Amino acid sequence: MLRVGLTGGLGSGKSTAARLFAQYGAYILEADAIGREMMQPDEAVYAAIVEHFGPAVLREDRQLDRAALARIAFTEGRVEELNAIVHPAVIARQAELAQEIFASDPRAIVVVESALIFETRHTEVKDGESAPWRSRFDCIILVAAAEEVKIERYLQRMAAGAPLTPERRAELTADARSRLSQQIPDARKAELCDFVLVNDGSIAELEEQVDELWPVLQFASVNT
């Protein structure tokens, strides 16, 4: 068994890397997807968010208004309040799902895709562990890219194929820079990670790096 953390900043391409690892047989646990499930009505996390932030974060259909919630979190500087509600529940669910996988496949490689492995302050600390993410993973992979590349990818994702006006491009660029400013720079993350995938170029170049790394992870999964 091997517990792998896969991280990278906004627009780094970590989701693309996760898909490539999945093609080799890795089990992927996407932190954002787990979080979205927990933000559905009747879930405890949903109730806690509404209680804390108020009805302004709800749409008419009682679903969370994720855009409004993001504005409150990032624009008003309340992101840590949101993280304190969401992160512990998501991390606990990740551990639960990983154990279920390992119970049925002892040699499984479980990859947790998460942008905020290092940034979160809401991980349970055991035995005085100063770096709690080390108790969650056997190794950590960083997907790194230049900031301008990340921003351009974010713009393309938000545009969803539609042309961007200069005003909208400027707005999204400012949003991307704000989000990136709240994340640890790649250079610092690289010092903490076991492996780094550089994703400034084509998907083919990223594929080559994943192809080289996969046998290393397989060996570790048998010997961990």
223 vs 44: CA distance, rounded Å: 38
**SS3 of 209, please?**
helix
Which DSSP category does 108 fall into?
-
Q: What is the dihedral of CA 189, 191, 197, 198, to 10 degrees?
A: 80
CATH of range 2-223; options 3.40.50.300, 1.50.40.10, 1.10.287.3510, 3.60.21.10: 3.40.50.300
**pTM, whole model, 2 decimals?**
0.88
> Could you read off the pLDDT of 168-220 as tens digits, one per residue?
999 999 989 988 988 899 999 999 999 999 999 999 999 999 999 999 999 99
> Could you read off the pLDDT of 111-139 as tens digits, one per residue?
999 998 988 766 654 444 545 677 889 99
